[in-house]
Each structure stands twice: as C-alpha cells, then as structure tokens.
Structure 1
Amino acid sequence: MRVFSNLIGACTLGALALPTTASPTRRASKPAYVTHPDRVDAVKAAFQRSWDGYYKHAFPHDSLKPISNTFSDDRNGWGASAVDALSTAIVMGNAGAVAQILDHVQHIDFNVAVGDISLFETTIRYLGGLVSGYDLLMTPEALSPDLKPLYSNRTLLDALGHQAENLAKNLMVAFDTPSGIPDNTLRFSPPRRNGSTTNSIATIGTLVLEWTRLSDITGNPQYGAKAQKGESYLLDPQPRALAEPFPGLVGTNLNITNGQFLDGTGGWVGGDDSFYEYLIKMYIYDPVKFAGYKDRWVLAVESSMAHLASHPASRPDLTFLAMFSGTTPLFISQHLACFDAGNIILGGLVLNKQQYVDFGLELAASCHDTYTSTVTGIGPETFSWQDNGTLLAINSSRNGAAPANQSAFFQKAGFWIVDGQYILRPEVIESFYYAYRATGDTKYQDWAWDAFLAINKTCAAGSGYSAINNVMATGGGSFQDFQESFWFAEVLKYSFLIQADDAVYQVQADNSGDFVYNTECHPVRAKAKVGKYMY
C-alpha cells in the first residue's frame, strides 16, 4: 500500500512545478462580514444534540432514527452520518466528535456493503467527506487550537487518504462500460456493476470534483480521468437536436452503452441539478484545465435566464426557474432546486458578472418566500405555480390555474404545494449563505437564522432531528423518524458558516478563497491554491 505522507510531498512538488494556474477573475474588494456568537453557539448545540443522539443510538451505522432511538443502514453500513459530519465538526472545532469520527474511519471495511451502492451518493457523502477531512486537517489555518495537533499526526491523516483510495478502488468498476459512462448502482463482495442501461446527468456529472481531487492528492490520474470521461458526454451532448433544447441546457437520461441522450427534459431539479453546479465549481478548482466546463455553465445560465425564468401570475415579483420538456417550460420546482440561486451567485462572483449575482439574488429571495409562506416557516419538497404569461399563455394546457383547494394560498404565496414534506434539506439556507458572502447584507444572515429556528422548533424530535410530513401543518404534521446524514454535512454547516467568523474555508466574494464546496457541502482544496500550503 502506498504511503500517503510520501505522496503529500510529491504532489506538492508536482503542483509547484507546473505553470501558474490562472485564477478566476479577482474582484476589487469583498464585503465586511458580521459574526453572531450567540447564533453560532446555538447551531453548535444543535450539532451536539444530533451527534450525541447518533453516537449513542446509531453509531457506527449510517443514520439515526431519533424517535425510536434505532438506526438505519441506508448508505451501506459504513457510518454515513459520521463521515458526513467530519468536515462540519472540523470547522466547528468540535474536537470530541472529530476524534470519534477519525477513530471510526480507520476501521471501516469498504469491501463489505449493506445493500446496493449508489456511486453518486457514495461519492458525495463518503469520498467527498474523506477527501474534505484530509484537506481541512492538512490546512493548519483552518483548525481551531484544539485540532491543530492533528496536523502533525500523519498516521491519522494517512488513514483518511488510504480509506478514500480503498473506497475509490472498489467503486472504479462502475466505469467499466462500453462508453465509460458509469453505472450508478453497484454491488460489492466482489465489486461489480448492477447492469443498468441508463444513467442521469446528475449521477454522471457529480463525480468529477471528488475524483479529480483524489487524483491530485494521490498522484494517480486514473480516478479523475474516469470521471472526466463520463462527463465528456454531457459537455458534447448527442444527438444535439434532442439532447440540448436550449444552449447549455440538456436532457436528463443517457444510454450507458453509446452515450446518447434519451430525452430532452430537465431543469435545475433532482436528477439534473448538481451537473450544472459542478461546471462552475470545476472551473474554480482548476480554471485552466476546466475552462470548457465554465463555458458550458455560462450557456446554461444564459439560457435559464432567457427561457426558464418565470414569474407567478399572482406574484410577479417572484422568480422561479421552470423545468423544460423540449422547448416547453414546466412550472414546477423543488426545494432541491433552490440551490440554483447560490450557484448562480457563485458563478457571478467568479466571472465578475454582476448580472448573474443579481439574478441569483432574485432566486434566493423567491426561495425565501417558500419558507415564510408556510405554517411551519419551512419550505416544501415540491411546489408549482402558474406563469404570468411571460413564458406561456395563462390557462394553456401547460400553464393551468392552481387547484381549487390551494387557490387562495396561491394568490397570496405565488406557488402551491405539490409535496409538503421536509426531509432536512439544505438548499435554501445554502443560497442564503452565498448571497451573504457575495453582498455582506446581514438580512441573509437573518433569513438563515429564521430558517434555522423554524427547523429547530419543528424537527427536533427524540434524540435528534427528524424529517416531517407536512410543512403546512402545525408541528410539521408528523415525524418520519429519520435524521439524514446530510443534516450534519449541509444544514448545520451552512447554518454555522453564515453566522461565523471569516476563515480560510469560507467563500470569498473577491475570489481569494482557497476551497470549493462539493454538493454535500464538503470543502476541498482548489488545485490552484495548494501551493500556498505545505502539503
């Protein structure tokens, strides 16, 4: 087995020997930021409650069921909540949780899995969590005083790196397809494909950051090369007439055998979302190698602004992004899609395009309304609306009125609820975070705090926090008795970061930041910035 501590030096020397990587456009200045210690402490307390409940009743399994005080191995039994919580515990300076997680990571057996394995979920949660933990602990400037000794514990850090590679080696079988597009469903003992015939752009296009970072850490190019090969079919979609209804906006599903798109339906929603997210983030990661990714992101955003930006008939002040089927807009969206505001704001900062920042702020304000309009103060899983006639004629077959039982709600809120559950999703608070880091406007901190308070009030249950069934019912209606691992990785981290001190891992409006966040909110070191630190 390779020794990671030897690779650290080799990778640093290799990175420093390369031609200087051009940075994204530097903006002239960045806002002043405000810290709220009381809010920071409250979020830390929520993390501790969640962690204590998980550690007592579910560890080392994947997820806590906080009401029944039992567990679920919904992510293959490797301790998903522990690995997902690592980067959050590090930035919070929670030395106790960090020690418990690092001890656990050394003992995970990635050769044995409970159930089928999702390449996508395993990459963003486990691989992303391990690589992020490694990058953060290798950055002394990112560590609280209690955690700084870990920087010198190379045996412990090697274990993180080795486990990331052990996992990746088993997952590599996913790419053994005629086209190189991965099969998203795997089985272990031994590692093998499930035999899927199709895959979606999100599950193909949300691998490249983590796998490329693993290659750059280890010096082994095959990891990044595999993910980038699958991505290549999304960057040059075929057949183009079907696959790309608008420039940069593509369908959802591809044939794994030949790489051809099977439909022209999509949007910034689940199944598509993080493909678009990673295009600009890969440019941030390495703006020379991935300049073409940036160009595709720009096309997608420009097309979204021109063809998908929709204003509800009852609330034309709101802006949502529609889905599309071919060139026909579909006026439905999801909590998941509310990440779009933050991603477009981030791209606007990186490219110094104020029109993108402004558009992202419009989307963030509209997603804020999906929270403030409900009984619980939390946004629904899925919602719909009637366009004001800008994109489609009112009352046409694809632009009908609200259901009768939600007509009054639509008149006031500008949307109606299709699925009212809330499963501890982060995307709205995520976009508030980017809005705040872009502008310094403290109203976004207040919005995030209000959202946190609503979630804390409604979802606290038993030994942790639970998904709820109805955001329009007092108390959330009923509990689902499930605490997702991304509660640790995303909701609690974004809620913390937006209220906390400035730090090396924070997003910087002037593009001086050193990290880029994967879709699970795990910060990884941007390749262009590695030379600043003695890896």
Structure 2
Amino acid sequence: MTDPLPSKKKRDQPKQALAAQAGKAHKEGRQHAAGSSGVFKLLSAFVLLAAVVVAYRHDPTLFTDFLDSWIGFSEHWEGSQPATSTNNPVHLSADIPKRNAVVAAFRHSWLAYEKDAMGDDEYHPISHKGSNLTSAGGIGYTVVDSIDTMLLMGLEAEYARARSWIADKLSFERDGNFNTFETTIRVLGGLLSAYHLSSGDPVYLDKATELADRILPVFETPSGLPHPMINLAKGVGVANADFTGLVSTAEVATLQLEFRYLSHLTGNDDYWRRVENAMRIIKSARLPHGLASIFMSVDEGQYVTSAIRLGSRGDSYYEYLLKQYLQTNGSEPVYSDMYEDAMTAIHNHLVQKSTKSGMTYTAELIPEKDASGEVSWRLTPKQDHLVCFLAGSLMLGATKTGALAQSVSVPPRDKELTPSGRRDWKTGVELLRTCMSTHDTATGLSPEIVHFRIPSDGMDHNSMAPADWYIKGARQVFPFSMSFGYELEHFACFASPGEFPPYDARYMLRYVYVFTYVQYTDTNGPSPETVESLFLSYRLTGDQLYRDHGWNIFQSIEKHCRLSSGGYATIVNVDEVPVRHEDKMETFWMSETLKYLYLLFDDSNTLPLDKYVFNTEAHPLPIFQPSVRTGFS
C-alpha cells in the first residue's frame, strides 16, 4: 500500500536537486568575477576613506554630529526617545492625567493631616494623630513644608486655609531645641519659597525674617561653624549631646541657599556672611583627597576622623556646592571650583562597579584603627538611597560647570561638554540606572540601604546569592545552610518571622532618615534622590523613559503606601507583600516627593532650570544676581 502523500523528505528532494545545481552555477560565476570586483571594492574603500578625512578636516562637527545622533552621547537606556532639538529651551508638554493623579494623592494626604493634626509638626495616619518635635510645642513643620506645593498645584482652598494658619497661629516662641538644619531647609526654606511663589505676600517674609533672627545665634562658636540645635525662644545654640563638640558636615553646609536668598530680599548682609563663613572654614579644612568626612569639630573648624560617604551626614554638602554656584547665576566661581574638585575626588575614590553587571554605585570609606592607633580606610560597598540625588546633580552639573557654552542641547552633545562634564554626565546616567534597579523588589520600591556584591564576600558558592546588590535582613527565609557563617552575618535574607526587619529594608515615601554605623536614628535630613533625579534627567533630556520610571514609582506608592482612611504610611520592608506599615507620614512626602512627581509630569515652563534652584527640601528659590561679593576664594 502506498502513502497517499509523500513524506516531507521525499517532497523536498526535487527542490534540493535544483537548488544544488543553481548553487554550483552561482559559485562558478562568483569565482570568475572575484578578481575584478575585489580590486574595485578596494579602490572604492580608499576613495571613501579619503573623502571622510577631507570632510573631517574641513568641518569636524559633521562627523561628531553624526556619531552623536547615531550612538547618542547621553547613553540613554534601550528604547528611550530623547528630545532631538539642539536649541534651548526645549518645550516639554504636560502629561495631564498623570499630573492630576499626583495632585489627587497630595489632597488625600493633606486633607487627612488637616482633619486630624492641623498645625502639628508630624502626622501619624494610622492612629489619626499629630505630634510635635518638642514638648514645648511645634512650629508647623508639615504646614510650612507643604504650602508651596499647594501653590504650584493650584489648590486654592487648601492653600487659603494653610496661609491663614501661618498668619494667625504659627509661633516660634518655643522653649525647646530644634535641629538647625531641619528648621532651615523645611521651615525657613518653605516660607521663602511661598513668599516668591505668592508674588511677595509679606506674611511669609515677616515670618522668615523672625525665624532667621532666632537661628543666627547658632553661629556664635569658636570656629564660626553653627551649632546643630537652636532653642528658638531663648535664642541660644545647643550642642549635640550624642556627639559632643562635633557637627555634621552636611548640616553646616546646607544652610546657605536659604540665608543668602533672605539676605538678598532684606538687604541684611549678616545672613549672607554667617553662612558664607561656614563655607570658608570648610574650604580651608580641605583634606588631601578632596572628600569630606561626615563630622567636623565645632571648636577647631577641622574635619575629625569619621566615615566618608555620600549618604547621611555627607550628601547635601556636595549638593549645595553646585546649587550655591547656580543660585547666584554663576557669579561665584569659588563654588564651581569646590564642586569640580569634589566630583573629581568622588570619581577617584568612591565610584565603583558591581562585580556581575558592572552597575555604577558609590562606596563608603570607613576609618579603622589598629592596636598602635594607626588609621586605615576600608572601602565598604554600601550605598544609602540618599545617594541617588547625585545622579541628577551630576547631569545638571555637567550642563553647567561642565559646559563649553552658556547653554547646551537637550540632551547635551559630546562636543558641548568639557572632559569632566562628559565624565559626570556618563556617571549620572549610570548611577540613575542603578538606583532604578534597586526598585526591583516585591513592592517595586527601593530600600533605604543596599549592599553591593564584591569578590571577597564569600557568596559565590551559593546559587541563590544575588548578582549585584542585596538588602540585609529583608526576607523571612533561610535559603541556604546555617553553616555559612559569613552569609548569616552579611546576606540579605534573614529576619525572624514577625520581627521588623533592619532599617535598610524600609521605604519612607522615598525620602529618608538613615541609620549610622552606631545604630541610632540619624537626624540628617532628606536629600533629593531618585524622584528629583528623574525630574532633572527628564528636563535635561526630554527622554520619556524617565517619566515612565517616575510613574512606576508613583503607582507602587499608591498600591502599597496609601491608606484608604487617609494619608500615606512608611512600609517597613520593601521586599515583603503584603506590606506592614509604620504609623508615620513624613513631611517631605508632600514637600518633596509629590512636588517632584508633579513637576516631572508638568509643562517644562513651570520652574525652568535656568531660573530656579531647589533647596534640599525641594523648595524652589529664584536664581538672582547678588550685590554681595564672595568673601573668600
């Protein structure tokens, strides 16, 4: 019996025979023509090369512009579509539905606070209560910190009630100790921003001037560096009981934008001189490597042996070097010099690559003394999420201190930047990529602290070890044998069921206080990090991918931090679902996170980067031409 249809092999045999005959004929033809065509191709290649050389000598930009457009200098991630204009400013239109969603989140937060805790410094959304920072009462941290966000969002009714509280009920006559840095960046900065955005409402300037006058006594120290605390009622600077004789480098170097702008508004040079003197002292104390230790002696004005890091107690020192230069329209080169010196030191000593994927991150230098008292420095692959502010800051700095012209393209082209500008842009883009990678958790939110893999960590023998980074103590599982002592101490996955995980795993609505090495709650305030960097990166590139990442973060917050009863809460473990909440809604949630998300999705004509600089609490202050000359160089 024969098959009704031949097999595929039999059906293909005639075709294969014809194909073989055709291939043989084609091969013979190619061999016959090879000699003449080969010579022709070689001559053509020489002619083309000569033309390229002549064109390059005539106008090198023809070649560099082609490379810029082909490979993209800004090294955006795969699939991104940056703006293609070389003319500034580039207009970026608003994404209205997403912007409106951010406004709705702000109202959900504010209305809960206003109902339960109006006027209190902090809000606890689970218990529906407020609290103050001192037993003598509060100074309206949440109200003042949030009011410029209301102005930007056009929330007229909410703004009117908040302004009324500031005008009628805000009092600084509090016999309690307030953190100098936090009070300056949140309350003084908030009042000054509200003054500007309200077109000069005098109630804000009056309150700002009163507060600044009450803070000024902190500068009455042997060195001129400010005390970390201030008793507002007594007008007396107060030392930190935990660190006698020491001040945080970030805290003393992150008062300048606010006091200098107030000096510009009032004509009182004393505000300017006090904070400028702190910068003079810091510059004089420069360490040989150009980095800043996180503590200084308030009496001697010198660095003391302490950790070197870009996270807590170090972060905003670097941030304000650039922003002081920008605030006075580039009229003070001393700050650009200090900024460029610091960025070079960061690249020389702290910028690292992960072992598996080559992810860019910044390490920390930890001092260690041996038995003879000699100090050595241990490079530690640990990065606070606060460090993510540096990504956008580097990209912004590259277009300002690292630009060869007054303005650059969007995104910048290679030829428009100095070698250090190109270096900083590249690192900024890569660091932001790393920061977004740390959102690869069960909640889609990043932890406060991550540790990166290094060859000597002893984890390679375990198949479940992370490739690049991990969170210490985030998971309630035991993925490998208890005999591995190193992993028990250092690996990500250990927390007993029911216990709160270490601080590293928390998500505090994207702006944080972090633990220091001696395990106390650090009072160094929040620095702009991932959301601010996404905002800056989008404004500098027009790349939709940055908006997409910002929207993903917002959706994760909505899913895991929003409380149906009102407000948003910290979650204690980003790698655990369902989440557990902590009963706290930080003031910077409405001041920073939601403001930067709003600006990310808003029209680029709102607060353009060539006219505004943001303080470290996201309060926008206008760029101005100073009448005071810098007192040091």
TM-score by length of structure 1 reads 0.82
Measured after TM superposition, the shift of residue 115 of structure 1 is 4.1
Q: Which residue of 1 aligns with 2:436?
A: 368
Structure 1 residue 504: Cα displacement? 4.2
Distance between the aligned counterparts of 1:163 and 1:250, measured in 2? 34
Match of 1:324 in 2: 365
For 1:163-202, what aligned pairs fall within 5 Å after superposition?
A: 163-196=207-240, 197-202=245-250
Q: Show the 5 A alignment for 1:40-51.
A: 40-51=99-110
- 1:95-494 pair list within 5 angstroms: 95-113=156-174, 115-138=176-199, 157-196=201-240, 197-237=245-285, 244=287, 246-247=289-290, 249-263=291-305, 265-287=307-329, 289-316=331-358, 318-325=359-366, 328-351=378-401, 352=403, 353-371=421-439, 373-387=440-454, 394-395=455-456, 400-401=457-458, 408=464, 410-411=466-467, 413-417=468-472, 419-426=504-511, 427-461=529-563, 462-476=565-579, 478-494=580-596
CA distance in 2, matches of 1:211, 1:403: 51
**Residue pairs, 1:7-18, within 5 angstroms:** none
Question: Aligned pair count?
Answer: 461
Contact 1:383 1:415 in 2 (8 A): yes
Extract unaligned runs of 5+ from structure 2: 1-85, 368-376, 404-420, 474-503, 512-528, 628-633
* Larger Rg computed on CA atoms: 2
Per-residue Cα deviation, 1:290-309 (whole angstroms, up to 9, x for no partner): 31111111111122223211
**Aligned partners of 1:131, 1:279: CA distance in 2, in Å?**
20
Letter in 1 for 2:361: F
Deviations 1:233-257 (A, max 9, x none): 21221xx5xxx2522x111111111
CA contact (8 A) 1:110 1:167 kept: no
C-alpha separation between the residues in 2 aligned to 1:386 and 1:48?
A: 41
CA deviation after TM superposition for structure 1 residue 269, in Å: 0.6
**Aligned residue runs from structure 1 range 62-77, under 5 A:** 62-74=121-133, 77=138
Partner of 1:60: 119
Matches of 1:37 and 1:287 in 2, distance apart? 32
Deviations 1:313-356 (A, max 9, x none): 1322x111111236642211111111110111111121222332
Q: What's 1:18 paired with?
A: none
How far residue 410 of structure 1 moved from its aligned partner, in angstroms, is 1.8
- In structure 1, distance between residues paired with 2:460 and 2:471: 8
Measure how far apart 1:89 and its partner are.
Answer: 0.9
**Identical amino acids, percent of aligned pairs:** 30
1:106 partner SS: helix
**Alpha-carbon separation, structure 1, partners of 2:615 and 2:153:** 18
Mark the CA change 1:433 to 1:266 in structure 2 (over 3 Å): closer, same or farther: same
- Contact 1:35–1:501 (Cα < 8 Å) also in 2: yes
Q: Distance in 1 between matches of 2:461 and 2:254?
A: 39
Q: 1:379 to 1:417 in 2, by over 3 A?
A: farther
Question: What secondary structure, in the 3-state scheme, does the structure 2 residue paired with 1:310 have?
Answer: strand
CA contact (8 A) 2:471 2:505 kept: no
Contact 1:179 / 1:257 at 8 angstroms: preserved in 2?
yes
Give the SS at the match of 1:383.
strand
The one-letter code sitting in structure 2 at the alignment partner of 1:365 is R
Decide whether aligned partners of structure 1 residues 345 and 529 sit closer, same or farther in structure 2, where only a CA change above 3 A counts: farther
- Distance change (3 Å), C-alpha of 1:199 and 1:528: same
Superposed CA deviations along residues 154-202 of structure 1, whole A, max 9, x for unmatched, are 6xx1110000011111111111111111001122331212234110111
Q: What's the Cα RMSD here?
A: 2.1
Alpha carbons of 1:307 and 1:83: their partners in 2 closer, same or farther (altered >3 Å)?
A: same
C-alpha separation between the residues in 1 aligned to 2:587 and 2:427? 31
AA at the equivalent of 1:334: D
Residue 342 of structure 1 contacts residue 430 of structure 1 at CA under 8 Å; is this kept in 2?
A: yes
- Check whether the contact 2:447–2:506 (CA below 8 A) recurs between aligned residues: yes
| DSSP 3-state at the match of 2:601 | coil
> Aligned in 2, Cα 1:198/1:34: closer, same or farther, shift over 3 Å?
same
SS in 2 for 1:384: strand
C-alpha distance in 2, partners of 1:74/1:450? 33
- Partner SS, residue 578 of structure 2: helix
Distance 2:108 2:119 in 1: 17
- Give the 3-state SS of the residue equivalent to 2:168 in structure 1: coil
Residue 14 of structure 1 corresponds to none
Q: Give the C-alpha shift of residue 402 in structure 1.
A: 5.4
| Higher RCO by CA contacts (8 Å cutoff, separation 6 or greater) | 1
- Residues 230, 237 of structure 2: 8 Å contact kept: yes
C-alpha spacing 1:528/1:91, structure 2 compared with 1 (3 Å): same
Give yes or no for the alignment of 1:29 onto 2:88: yes
Is the partner of 2:510 in helix, strand or coil? Answer: coil
**Cα deviation, residue 287, structure 1:** 4.4
Name the amino acid aligned to 1:236: S
- Structure 1 unaligned residues grouped into runs of 5+: 1-26, 139-153, 388-393, 508-512, 531-535
Q: Judging changes above 3 Å, is the alpha-carbon distance between structure 1 residues 433 and 338 closer, same or farther for their aligned structure 2 residues? A: same
TM-score with structure 2 setting the length: 0.70
Q: Deviations over 1:182-236 (max 9, x none)?
A: 0011223312122341101111000011011110011101112111112222122
Bigger mean CA deviation after superposition, 354-363 or 435-444: 354-363
Question: What is the SS of the residue equivalent to 1:163?
Answer: helix
Instruction: Tell me the secondary structure at the aligned position of residue 341 of structure 2.
Output: helix
The CA distance in 1 between the partners of 2:624 and 2:363, in whole Å, is 34
Look up the match of 2:143: 82
Q: CA deviation at 1:438?
A: 1.1
- Corresponding letter in the other structure for 2:466: F
